[in-house]
Structure 1
Amino acid sequence: MFFSVLPLRAVAFQAMFLLLAIAIEAHVLQRELKLVPKKAAQYAMTLNLLTVAVGWFLFFGFEPFLRPPVKAQLLNFIFFDRWSTDTVFWFILAGFIIFFTSFIIKLLGLQQLELLLTTPQDLATQQEKTLRKNRLGSRKKQQSGLPRQPRQASALLSANAFSYTAILLLLFTRMLFVNVPVL
């Protein structure tokens, strides 16, 4: 009989980190994009679930192409929570790559999500506002100071940074208080 191995610890930590990221990012999106709490939470959930799904697909896509020693170290880290000092640089580099990749995925996901959720009435209202602004001329400044796209990007970047910082603090705290073996 074939039994597949399920890394329950990794699944549990992924769920905990996902809940933490959703809570933090929903708060930041609500505050910076002036969204109602329900909509901010829905956006945060959708974007984080999209990011996690894409991340796992990328991981399982790249994993077969890793060299056997690297694959063994990676599996040792995922299944047994053991890592070597030789791989610290690569984990840090992977962390930066994952941070910016998840930011790009979330930014593209938010743009697509807003396109999907825009109703014809919302589109007509936006066109009316644009026409009124053009009629008033360039003397009147925008109330927000920034167009919608850069404001979304900065809000997502700060939300992503806050959630990754909280997750990193949890991981460091766990490493300090739980005896994690280093090979």
Structure 2
Amino acid sequence: MPTGSTRRKRKFGKYMRYLRTTRRPDLKPETLADLTEVKRPTISRMETGVSLPGLHLFKAVLDVLGADEEQRIRARQLWDHANADKGQGSDAQRESYRAFKADEADAVWEKNFQHSYVPGIAQVDSYVAALAPDGEAVTDEHLAERRERRNQVRPPRSLALHLLLD
């Protein structure tokens, strides 16, 4: 089963292939590679989701394809999402969490087994407050984020959530 990172790269690649075939149907991957000064396999790996291009190549591809503003925004969101697992430290963790939340928002169902705590999607405000380290206040932003995740299991979204708590 592909990992979340692999699925995100594939989703990005699929969108980039869609842009190439709809914006420039006559443009073959080999020609796109020539125009962006990379080798043909680089474009193939990008469009199949095997690897992500660097930011400069990504932007150059969008320029060659003549992507409009809306397509650029969507492509950048997918690129950022797929790129979230790169890097280290708290910034990478925040990006990884944002990517996780985006995957969760796209999901149809979720299974979760926890033996020591309630998963974030099911945490109520009082539980979140109880988990806070002594002396630390839980921010309204943090509580709002948990509420937003909880709302995914309610209509109209109605994510099918299966939890097993030990």
**Which category of TM-score, normalised to the shorter sequence, fits these structures?**
0.3 to 0.5
Bigger helix share: 1
Structure showing greater radius of gyration is: 1
Q: TM-score, normalised by structure 1?
A: 0.31
The one of the two structures with greater contact order (alpha-carbon pairs below 8 A, sep at least 6) is 1
Give the alignment's TM-score, normalised by structure 2.
0.34
